[in-house]
């Protein structure tokens, strides 16, 4: 009898082992791409399967070198971001501020009109494009065909350049979300260009009901960054007329600014963005609780981190590589108000 029970348990264990889904890795994605699977099929598998992706700069560059499309890389990065955030989600009943994940800033929705439990918002990274058009307003730029084409074509060119020339914009999302830049020639005298920060997707996967909402924000523990130099903000995202992009902000700067390691780029001094009025309370070093001053109307929004001083200088390389202060400025937590 005991022998029969043993074999029954052994059989059940083996059956579970055989049916347990295997976590997808970067190697699996490369095999599927080289095997000729459609982009839509691979993205669907990424969204439906457990995963353990390498979304580091080296991991993304390797994927690009193997012919993996921008759409697949963005889906991979989003999945890895969600996996890490889910593993660090604080229990809904806890009033503590959002905690950093592996040295990254974090944001959590504390309340909403629906009274739903707290939600940890996945950390994303803005992607960067540049255009020769002068920055006027996000709405105006969202309708420019040249800018939309830059968004569509930028990542493959830039990422390949980043492997051979240090400092080139191309991996703005060393964590989640890759970098975009339509490379312009640098052999001539640099001209003034417009840099555009954007986030992929038609809308955010995090959705809340219309009405008041408050957020816990943690800036503490990010390597090489003084959290006292930053504060959280809420912005309204502007959808582009073509492609699945939403604009977060834009500014003018010198062409090829990302090749400079010097802390000489006042990125935020003339930055254009659609900020939402808010109430902010500092709850500790690098910790905030913020809330929109008025009920948010339907649309796409984001929590971002901005320098307290608009004259703060950044290194273009930090922005391009998503390191140091670039980690803070490129971080974005999107949410959609239904």
The pLDDT of residue 103: 73
Which range is least confidently modeled, 21-30, 97-106, 158-167, 243-252? Answer: 158-167
Range of weakest confidence among 101-105, 165-169, 316-320: 165-169
Q: Are strands 331-337 and 207-208 parallel, antiparallel or unpaired?
A: parallel
User: Under a CB-based contact definition with an 8 Å cutoff, are residues 242 and 148 in contact?
Assistant: yes
> Is the pLDDT reported for residue 291 higher than 90?
yes
Tell me, what's the pLDDT at 243?
Answer: 67
**pTM attached to this predicted model:** 0.63
Could you tell me the pLDDT band of residue 85, with boundaries at 50, 70 and 90? Answer: low
Asked if residue 81 has pLDDT above 90, the reply is no
Instruction: Give the pLDDT of residue 315.
Output: 93
pLDDT of res. 161: 37
Which range is least confidently modeled, 29-43, 96-110, 182-196, 299-313?
Answer: 182-196
| Rounded Cα gap, residues 293 and 69, in angstroms | 40
Looking at per-residue pLDDT, the higher value among 272 and 284 belongs to: 272
Percent of the chain at pLDDT above 90? 36
Better-scored residue on pLDDT, 73 or 115: 73
What are the extents of the domains in the chain? 1-87, 92-337
């Amino acid at each position: 009898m005991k022998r029969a029970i043993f074999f029954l348990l052994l059989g059940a264990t083996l059956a579970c082992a055989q049916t347990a889904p295997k976590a997808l890795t970067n190697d699996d994605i490369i095999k599927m791409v080289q095997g000729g699977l459609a982009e839509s099929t691979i993205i669907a598998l990424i969204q439906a399967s457990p995963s353990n992706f390498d979304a580091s700069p080296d991991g993304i560059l390797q994927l690009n070198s193997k012919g993996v499309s921008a759409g697949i890389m963005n889906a991979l990065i989003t999945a890895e971001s969600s996996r890490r955030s889910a593993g660090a989600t604080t229990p809904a009943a806890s009033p503590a501020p959002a905690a950093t994940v592996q040295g990254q800033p974090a944001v959590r929705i504390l309340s909403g009109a629906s009274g739903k439990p707290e939600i940890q918002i996945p950390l994303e990274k803005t992607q960067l494009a540049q255009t020769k058009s002068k920055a006027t307003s996000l709405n105006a730029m969202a309708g420019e065909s040249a800018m939309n084409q830059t968004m569509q074509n930028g990542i493959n060119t830039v990422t390949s350049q980043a492997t051979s020339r240090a400092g080139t914009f191309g991996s703005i999302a060393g964590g989640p979300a890759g970098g975009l830049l339509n490379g312009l020639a640098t052999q001539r005298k640099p001209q003034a260009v417009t840099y555009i920060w954007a986030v992929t997707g038609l809308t955010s996967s995090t959705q809340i009901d219309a009405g008041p909402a408050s957020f816990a924000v943690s800036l503490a523990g990010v390597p090489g960054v003084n959290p006292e130099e930053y504060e959280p903000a809420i912005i309204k995202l502007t959808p582009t007329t073509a492609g699945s992009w939403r604009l977060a902000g834009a500014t003018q700067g010198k062409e090829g600014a990302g090749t400079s390691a010097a802390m000489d780029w006042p990125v935020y001094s003339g930055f254009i963005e659609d900020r939402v009025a808010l109430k902010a309370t500092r709850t500790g070093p690098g910790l905030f609780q913020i809330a929109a001053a008025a009920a948010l109307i339907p649309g796409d929004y984001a929590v971002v981190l901005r320098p307290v001083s608009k004259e703060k200088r950044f290194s273009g390389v930090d922005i391009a590589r998503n390191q140091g202060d670039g980690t803070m400025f490129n971080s974005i937590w999107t949410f959609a108000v239904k």
